Structure 1
Amino acid sequence: MALLYSLCCVSFSALVIVALYVSPVVSTSRRVLGDYGKLENGFRVTLKHVDSSKNLTKWERIQRGIKRGNHRLQRLNAMVLAASGDSAEVQAPIVAGNGEFLMDLSIGTPPNSYSAILDTGSDLIWTQCKPCTQCFDQSTPIFDPQKSSTFTKLSCSSDLCEALPQSTCSDGSCEYLYTYGDYSSTQGVMATETFKFDSVSVPNIGFGCGEDNEGDGFSQGAGLVGLGRGPLSLVSQLKEPKFSYCLTAMDETQKSLLLMGSIASANESLGEMRTTPLIRNPSQPSFYYLSLQGITVGSTRLPIKESTFALEDNGSGGVIIDSGTTITYLEQAAFSVLKKAFILEMKLPVDTLSSTGLDLCFTLPSGSTQVEVPKLVFHFDGADLDLPAENYMIADSSSGVICLAMGGSSGMSIFGNVQQQNMLVVHDLEKETVSFIETQCQNI
């Protein structure tokens, strides 16, 4: 079955018309910590893409995202390799870091406004704090805990201090060191504070007050909000540990959305909900691992062994869903099979000269206004995702190419944010599931 990728937006029978752009074990256990952020209902905030303030075309944003995604993939694979014991290098515990979206929030009493990077691949919430021995430039004043009446340092025996991958004790206070996969880091004191998201205030959120911070990846914001599965993350500290997001396409003016707590539940009136269980990787407990059982291109299920995407006993391999990675990366053997299938189905010449940064591009017919592309279905455990064409094909008529928004990986596979756009994606840490509803974000 084929989809038509076109300048007009019409649908009929089995063909869908979309725009041609110009420019091993399921676990239900969860570590519950002390009495931190209490939130009876929930809140919603808009998200900004990290490149939204720049005067860039969609294609330029994609290319920048691909470069960041390639670096992120390398960091993630290095982390898994180190944790599996296959790396000879001994180093401090490292986490993923960075992301593709920013959220606005306020910290302290009285509240001070900041933007922070949202990251589903790490746990710690932190911001730069005074006195700062080393801080990167940020557009807002650095948070001064002495001017907040609700700032409280955490003791060394606190649950959150004990949950840190690396900490020390100084004068009874918990000090942390959090190192990211690109060797950027934040170091400071653990504390609790009142956070405000839109109009909703949440007291006693545990966070890192960073007094020594370095790295190139944080310059878009004043810190980072971890949404991983570990106990330090924002979602784990809420009374109802769930969140959802709807990510718009990069060229849309409509903002992306993040919903936290009870309001993050999927509204089935939006459309059919597909739910798949999460898999837990003891060596990487922060990541959201899914069970990918196969892929269909066109009308053919690809000859890829299910074990290709399996999580190995040593913690390597597997598939994670990640909002902080732009495109999807598949284990190299699987990606090679997928590439061959697309070359066979597309019936267009492969473009070998383009500098898009993507692995597979095709030359568009001269003067074409639409082109057929094959269906693409990801078969997760209990959830078949039949993706819209714009969630995996990116066209640039000015360059005369249309490209597959996917790449190969020498380790883990990642289901990236282009493939998730215009879906409500619900992460439920209590039920240990991820659910998908295809929708337009403005409908939420």
Structure 2
Amino acid sequence: MGRSFRPIVPVAAVVFALLVVVPPPLAMSAGARSRPSSRVGPGVFSNSVKRGAKIIDKLLKKLAEKGRKELVMDKSADSVPLFVFNLTVGTSSPPQNIPGVLDINGQLVWSQCSPCSPCLPAPAPAFEPDRSSTFARLPCGSQTCQQVLNDTYTCSGNAAGDDRCKYTYMSESTNTTGYLANDTFTFGDTPVPGLVFGCSDAFLQGDLSGASGSFGLSRGPLSLVSQLKLSWFSYFLASDDDESDDSSRIQFGGDAAPPQTKNSRSTPLLNSTLYPDLYSVKLTGVRVDGNDLAADIPAGTFDFQANGSGGVFLSTTYPLTVLEQAAYDAVRKAIAGSITAAQPVDGSAIGLDLCYTMQSLKSVTIPKLALVFDGDDAVMDLKRYNYLFADNDTGLECLSIMPYTGLSLLGSLVQTGIEMTYDIDNARLIFDTTAAQTTAAASPAAHSLATMMLLYHLAVWVVLF
């Protein structure tokens, strides 16, 4: 299914049904899934493709800053597609189900809490601490507060009698303040007491499109991965363009080895000296229609450099794939050179470079793109919807890859329809491109923004509540 952008300020977002999976905080040997409440169809994209590289640049600069009180959100909330799932927070009756954004780069688990002023727009619910008998605020002088916010931070800035561990969580267009606390989180039927999370009581700017916060899965000390001591986690982002019955899902794993099939491939998870909490991999090449582009991509293009720059990161909160300039130029040249039956058109209206009219591509054979990683036959064969974006508003279908200098990033679009497993214990990424048994049409169907918005708002109420 095609997605819609508006000129100048393109709008879209993705909300999906996620299988909430039981994590292994105690003796569980493997993840176990609960049933999804619904399969959600088309979503809505968020704003704005044009600022993508700028947002990433700001993200990495902020992550590089140390010894500060601010916790940096992964990306601008209104410039990315949001993948949302529920967690039960606190011990109260009825349970409080909080929808949060799946963020593999998130350093923190956080939610809107009441009372809040100003609050996130409806329908985002707020966690009510007073209803939970196990809720406890973290003191400002606690070890966790000192380590996370600032090694030298003191409580001198707090008002008299206010001993809360306060934070500011911000990005280009999201600004929220709150305090750290701990409470019981329930995953499926398994309660996990004492998880540290952020309780945000003021949103000065931003909108999470119905979600109430963010569930961070980075390698940082307060992420779900670290607090639950997960040995692995996996997710599957179902594509709107597939005609299969697959639903998006997430699974947390325990002591047993992560699930694999005969089609699974793996590549090492690397450590970045500048951004150690983020997940990165070694991309060794790109193929178009089976042809390796090594001749046009200089050796070492995707490697980490001596100063710590470079590398290839992954994201679930930024839709597009970003490649180093030389690699992007090679990919663009190869794809454009393979599509000889249609002429490129101006794509500046939606901020993308290589574009065609959707009509002109209806009878055209689209070149196949594959990413080659370090590892034994670690080739990720992509489907059309992974790298071409169909926009009904403009009638354009564009390459959903952007050029950048200083790093590469594999966004959520390129990961859709692929089982992605992060084997933390063995430092490897396992992927299976055959996880979705699809019968997708040759060309994705396009939908209007108005239809997508209506379906999105219905989906929010069905899935999140």
| TM-score > 0.5 by shorter chain | yes
Q: Aligned to 2:413, what secondary structure does the other structure show?
A: coil
What is the match of residue 204 of structure 2? 214
**CA distance in 2: counterparts of 1:185 and 1:45, whole angstroms:** 33
More moved, 373-382 vs 224-233:
373-382
What is the match of residue 401 of structure 2? 406
**CA distance in 1: counterparts of 2:213 and 2:256, whole angstroms:** 24
What stretches of structure 1 of length at least 5 have no aligned partner?
1-19, 24-35
What is the match of residue 104 of structure 1? 86
Q: Aligned to 1:277, what secondary structure does the other structure show?
A: strand
**CA distance in 2: counterparts of 1:83 and 1:420, whole angstroms:** 24
- When residues 363 and 151 of structure 1 are mapped into structure 2, their CA distance, relative to the original with a 3 A threshold, is closer
Selected match of 1:244 from 221, 234, 244:
234
What is the match of residue 259 of structure 1? 251
Selected match of 2:300 from 297, 307, 317:
307
Selected match of 1:348 from 338, 341, 345:
341
Contact kept? 1:45, 1:103, Cα under 8 Å: no
TM-score normalised by L of structure 2: 0.74
- When residues 223 and 369 of structure 1 are mapped into structure 2, their CA distance, relative to the original with a 3 A threshold, is closer
Letter in 2 for 1:334: A
Per-residue deviation, 1:399: 6.9
Contact kept? 2:24, 2:254, Cα under 8 Å: no
Letter in 2 for 1:76: I
- When residues 426 and 163 of structure 1 are mapped into structure 2, their CA distance, relative to the original with a 3 A threshold, is farther
More moved, 192-201 vs 113-122:
192-201
Q: Aligned to 2:329, what secondary structure does the other structure show?
A: helix
**Cα offsets for 1:335-379 (capped at 9, x unmatched):** 11211111112223332245454321235676x754222232212
- When residues 178 and 265 of structure 1 are mapped into structure 2, their CA distance, relative to the original with a 3 A threshold, is farther
Letter in 1 for 2:420: V
TM-score normalised by L of structure 1: 0.77
More moved, 379-388 vs 91-100:
91-100
Pairing 1:74–2:68 present: no
Matches within 5 A, 1:352-391: 352-354=345-347, 355-363=349-357, 370-382=363-375, 383-391=378-386
Pairing 1:285–2:276 present: yes
**CA distance in 2: counterparts of 1:182 and 1:322, whole angstroms:** 17
Letter in 2 for 1:151: F
What stretches of structure 2 of length at least 5 have no aligned partner?
5-22, 439-465
**CA distance in 1: counterparts of 2:390 and 2:200, whole angstroms:** 42
Per-residue deviation, 1:197: 3.1
Per-residue deviation, 1:299: 3.3
**Cα offsets for 1:290-326 (capped at 9, x unmatched):** 1112211223221212322222343332211111121
More moved, 426-435 vs 68-77:
68-77
Q: Aligned to 1:309, what secondary structure does the other structure show?
A: coil
What is the match of residue 419 of structure 1? 414
Aligned residues between the structures: 396
Pairing 1:185–2:169 present: no
Matches within 5 A, 1:71-150: 71-81=51-61, 92=70, 94-97=72-75, 98=77, 100-110=82-92, 111-139=95-123, 141-150=125-134
Letter in 1 for 2:60: V
Selected match of 2:316 from 320, 323, 332:
323
- When residues 396 and 37 of structure 1 are mapped into structure 2, their CA distance, relative to the original with a 3 A threshold, is closer
**Cα offsets for 1:163-208 (capped at 9, x unmatched):** 4244654669551324333152333222211112344332221111
**CA distance in 2: counterparts of 1:430 and 1:181, whole angstroms:** 31
More moved, 183-192 vs 158-167:
158-167
Letter in 1 for 2:317: G
**CA distance in 2: counterparts of 1:222 and 1:396, whole angstroms:** 28
Seq. identity, %: 31
Contact kept? 1:47, 1:103, Cα under 8 Å: no
What is the match of residue 276 of structure 1? 267
Structure with greater strand share of residues: 1
Letter in 2 for 1:102: V
More moved, 289-298 vs 259-268:
259-268
Per-residue deviation, 1:433: 1.5
Contact kept? 1:247, 1:441, Cα under 8 Å: no
- When residues 151 and 399 of structure 1 are mapped into structure 2, their CA distance, relative to the original with a 3 A threshold, is closer
Per-residue deviation, 1:385: 1.4
**CA distance in 2: counterparts of 1:213 and 1:221, whole angstroms:** 13
Q: Aligned to 2:165, what secondary structure does the other structure show?
A: strand
Letter in 2 for 1:213: F
Letter in 2 for 1:358: L
- When residues 416 and 265 of structure 1 are mapped into structure 2, their CA distance, relative to the original with a 3 A threshold, is farther
- When residues 281 and 180 of structure 1 are mapped into structure 2, their CA distance, relative to the original with a 3 A threshold, is farther
Q: Aligned to 1:74, what secondary structure does the other structure show?
A: helix
**Cα offsets for 1:387-425 (capped at 9, x unmatched):** 233322345799765432222224421111221111110
Per-residue deviation, 1:76: 2.2
